[in-house]
């Protein structure tokens, strides 16, 4: 788990790369890789990679990066973990390939030599890498299927620059910072910046599940090798296995995923909450044979002794499975002191991630370099309210599909009335117009602001341009390409392809890496999804969680299983409301109304930071 950077002067008119620029970009990411750094520049000076290392697999110097293949035909800079690298290695060795290191990095080089870019389909893990193919004189950028690991690039038409973080690209001094209207509109609509946009026009994300080939003509069109909707379409097939053995299938698949996610040459800890997902992970870690587990739970002073205090139930789970348990208390004072650092570490604007910041900080204090997180459990089993609401809304409003003009008029009328006297939730105005299809309904369900509310937050022309370029409903619909049949699978694809990818995984990355902590997410795993989607899709809502709770050989304590899902809450919203540094939202009339959701104020505040 590391930080990667590179420059490729692909155009004949471009100057050779500037090694100082490369180092500045790389070292801006020192927190991503505190254990070492390396660089490689091609003999002709046209391409160079930088790497910051957080050593987790094969801690030796031989595994340092950038790493070249034995014959020099390929060089790689890699961020992430390949959980099935041992299996891949065995297969490669059987084909006669000889390895020099014990690292997963070398497996990537050898696999590329054998299969080219198609190799990404064989990888199980989280990754973002850059690979220089000397024979074809081209650069391959690749990102894992879900987008756990980030990768951004800036192409000015002569030279392509890439890095694990947007802010690092600017540290080189050669990338334009002009704002991207689509990125900003996306941030206000979703609360995070949707791929492939960033808030800077010059910088784009290599999208999750795609590879990008760059040769002397520049970047080709991204090639998609994975769409989350595909395994979900497979789960829609009517030949459903009897639900009776769903439990054993889920158990086996989850244990398999956890086992893979524990592959490391350093101890792997756990973020433990009072909920089912992280608790089940702990039980499965024991089942996978991990004797010594360090579990970390956050406690907020304000919640001590109340229903929202996660510590007592988390402690119960920890005792249940015999884990070493650290309860880390976060106070308002610490939060106040950390807020500027949080803003500095936040790579792209996001309304979330602060909780991860503190739990990662606590894990690092305990000496951990890697930890599992229960992130993605709700996407896997259909645990969000959206799995219920979105199909219902689409059914309710299906007639409105035939009168699009009327819907827009209704939306405007309600918005005007609501402006005079706020009786309805601001999103209600768009119900008829948006809720009659899955993409629109998703925007209604997950949106922070609605498209018609962006005036006042963004400059008029900039906003119109942003909405035109992003085309939010179309952007959402692209996740449903190809489109699953069942309602459950559609919502699962939307949640995994948008909220999980753009919000949860991004926040986990920046907030974790700021503390040099690799966060691993066993619920976010293609093999797991392929194995169990058919079961979760068939189960009634809520029953999926019970399967998760029962998946360890020793089931979770009943207190955890029976705990009503309160939603995850922190006092952070209150702390922010009380913070005199967080006042910019008061300048916007719409945000001052008493019933304005906090997320809206916070989104505006982030945008001003």
Partner 1 sequence: MSGILALITDGFGGSGGIAQYNRDLIKALTLCPGIERIVVLPRLGEADATVLPAGVRQLKPRRNAAIYSLAAIKAALTQGPFEAVFCGHLHLAPLAGFLASLLGVPLWLQLHGWEAWGVPRRIERQAAERACLITAVSRYTRTRFLAVCGVDPARVRVLPPTVEQSFGRGTRSDELAARYGLRGKRVLLTVGRLDPAERRKGQDHVIRALPGIVARFSDIVYLIVGGGGDKARLEVLARELDVADHVVFAGTVTADELPQLYRLADLFVMPSTQEGFGIVFLEAAASGLRVVGGNSDGSADALADGAIGTLIDPADTAALVRAVTAALGGDGVAPAGAARFRFENFSLHVRELMKQHLLSAAPARAA
State the residues that interact with partner 1 by CB under 8 A. Answer: 11-15, 155-158, 176, 178, 182, 201-202, 204, 215-222, 465, 468-469
φ, ψ at 302 (rounded to 5°): -60, -30
CB of 7 to partner 1, least distance (A): 13
Minimum distance, C-beta of residue 212 to partner 1, in the bound complex (Å): 9
Whether 530 contacts 474, CB under 8 Å: no
In the complex, the smallest distance separating the C-beta of residue 159 from partner 1, rounded to whole angstroms, is 9
CB of 487 to partner 1, least distance (A): 29
- Which among 279, 264, 213 has a CA at the least distance from the CA of 85? 264
Task: Select 13 or 94, whichever has its Cβ closest to partner 1.
Answer: 13
- Give the tokens for residue 475: 């952007």
CA 586 to chain centre: 31
CB of 167 to partner 1, least distance (A): 20
3-state secondary structure of 580: coil
Check if the beta carbon of residue 8 is closer than 8 Å to that of residue 218: no
Q: How far apart are CA 430 and CA 415, in angstroms?
A: 8
Which alpha helices (DSSP H) does 385-514 contain, by range?
Answer: 386-396, 404-420, 431-434, 438-446, 460-470, 472-477, 487-494, 505-513
Cβ proximity to partner 1, 222 vs 484, nearer residue: 222
Closer residue to partner 1, CB minimum distance, 14 or 396: 14
Helix (H, G, I), strand (E, B) or coil at 182: helix
Nearest-approach distance from CB 158 to partner 1, in angstroms:
6
Q: Which is nearer to partner 1, 9 or 63 (CB)?
A: 9
Q: Which is nearer to partner 1, 178 or 245 (CB)?
A: 178
3-class state of residue 289 by DSSP: coil
Q: What residues have CB less than 8 Å from 199, skipping those under 6 apart?
A: 179, 180, 183, 184, 187, 193, 348, 349
Strand order in the sheet with 294-300: 324-330, 294-300, 268-271, 370-372, 518-520
Q: How far is the CB of 162 from partner 1 (least distance, A)?
A: 14
Antiparallel, parallel or unpaired: β 294-300 and 324-330: parallel
Rounded Cα distance between 36 and 33, Å, is: 7
- Whose Cβ is closer to partner 1: residue 95's or residue 221's? 221
Minimum CB–partner distance for residue 139 and partner 1 (Å): 14
How does strand 47-53 pair with strand 2-8? antiparallel
CA atoms lying within 13 Å on the CB side of residue 426: 17
Among residues 14 and 266, whose Cβ is nearest to partner 1? 14
Kindly state the smallest distance separating residue 204's Cβ from partner 1, in Å. Answer: 7
Give 201 or 366: the residue with its C-beta nearer to partner 1: 201
CB of 468 to partner 1, least distance (A): 7
Minimum Å gap between C-beta 176 and partner 1 is 7
Min dist. Cβ of residue 78 to partner 1 (A): 24
The residue among 155 and 495 lying less far from partner 1, judged by its C-beta, is 155
How far is it, in rounded angstroms, from Cα 139 to Cα 465?
32
Nearest residue (CB) to partner 1, 291 versus 474: 474
How far apart, in Å, are the Cα atoms of 406 and each of 46, 411, 412, 431? 58, 9, 10, 12
For residue 156, how many other CB atoms are within 10 A of its CB? 14
Residue pair 150/438 in contact (Cβ under 8 Å)? The answer is: no
Helical packing angle, 332-345 and 505-513, nearest 10°: 100
- Rounded (to 5) percent helix, strand, coil in the chain: 50, 15, 35
**214 vs 362, which CB is nearer to partner 1?**
214
Of 105 and 159, CB closest to partner 1: 159
């Amino acid at each position: 788990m590391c930080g990667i950077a590179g420059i490729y002067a692909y155009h004949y008119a471009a100057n050779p790369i500037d090694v100082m620029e490369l180092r500045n970009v790389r070292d801006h990411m020192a927190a991503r890789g505190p254990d070492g750094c390396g660089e490689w520049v091609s003999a002709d000076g046209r391409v160079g990679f930088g790497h910051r290392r957080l050593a987790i697999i094969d801690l030796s110097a031989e595994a340092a990066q950038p790493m070249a293949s034995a014959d020099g035909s390929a060089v790689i800079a890699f961020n992430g973990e390949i959980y099935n690298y041992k299996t891949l290695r065995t297969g490669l060795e059987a084909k006669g390939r000889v390895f020099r290191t014990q690292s997963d990095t070398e497996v990537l080089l050898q696999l590329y030599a054998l299969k080219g870019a198609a190799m990404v389909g064989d990888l199980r893990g989280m990754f973002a890498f850059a690979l220089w193919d000397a024979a074809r004189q081209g650069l391959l950028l690749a990102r894992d299927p879900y987008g756990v690991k980030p990768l951004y690039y800036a192409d000015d038409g002569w030279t392509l620059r890439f890095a694990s973080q947007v802010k690092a690209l600017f540290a080189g001094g050669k990338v334009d910072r002009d704002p991207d209207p689509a990125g900003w509109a996306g941030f206000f609509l979703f609360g995070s910046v949707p791929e492939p946009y960033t808030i800077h026009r010059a910088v784009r994300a290599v999208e999750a599940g795609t590879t990008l080939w760059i040769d002397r003509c520049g970047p080709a069109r991204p090639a998609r090798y994975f769409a989350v909707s595909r395994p979900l379409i497979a789960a829609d097939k009517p030949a459903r296995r009897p639900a009776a053995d769903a439990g054993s299938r889920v158990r086996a698949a989850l244990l398999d995923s956890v086992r893979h996610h524990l592959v490391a040459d350093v101890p792997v800890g756990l973020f433990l909450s009072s909920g089912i997902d992280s608790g089940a992970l702990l039980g499965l870690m024991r089942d996978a044979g991990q004797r010594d587990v360090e579990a970390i739970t956050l406690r907020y002073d304000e919640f001590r002794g109340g229903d929202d205090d996660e510590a007592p139930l988390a402690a119960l789970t920890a005792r249940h499975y015999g884990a070493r348990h650290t309860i880390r208390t976060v106070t308002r004072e610490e939060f106040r002191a950390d807020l500027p650092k949080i803003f500095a570490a936040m790579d792209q604007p996001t309304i979330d991630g602060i909780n991860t910041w503190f739990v990662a900080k606590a894990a690092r204090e305990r000496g951990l370099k890697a930890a599992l997180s229960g992130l993605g459990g709700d996407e896997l089993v259909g645990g969000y309210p959206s799995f219920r609401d979105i199909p219902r809304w689409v059914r309710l409003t299906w007639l409105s599909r035939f009168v699009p003009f009327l819907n827009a008029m209704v939306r405007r009328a309600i918005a005007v009335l609501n402006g005079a006297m706020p009786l309805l939730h601001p999103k209600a105005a768009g119900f008829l117009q948006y809720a009659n299809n899955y993409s629109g309904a998703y925007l209604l369900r997950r949106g922070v602001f609605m498209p018609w509310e962006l005036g006042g937050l963004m400059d008029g022309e900039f906003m119109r341009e942003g909405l035109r370029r992003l085309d939010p409903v179309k952007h959402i619909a692209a996740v449903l390409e190809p489109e699953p049949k069942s309602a459950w699978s559609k919502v699962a694809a939307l949640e995994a392809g948008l909220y999980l990818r753009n919000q949860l995984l991004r926040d986990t990355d920046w907030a974790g890496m700021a503390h040099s902590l690799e966060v691993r997410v066993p619920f976010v795993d293609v093999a797991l999804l392929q194995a169990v989607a058919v079961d979760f899709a068939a189960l009634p809502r809520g029953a999926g969680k019970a399967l998760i709770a029962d998946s360890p050989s020793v089931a979770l304590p009943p207190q955890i299983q029976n705990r009503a899902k309160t939603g995850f809450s922190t006092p952070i919203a209150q702390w922010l409301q009380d913070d005199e540094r967080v006042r910019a939202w008061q300048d916007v009339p719409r945000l001052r109304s008493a019933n304005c959701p906090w997320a809206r104020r916070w989104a505006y505040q982030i945008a001003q930071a």
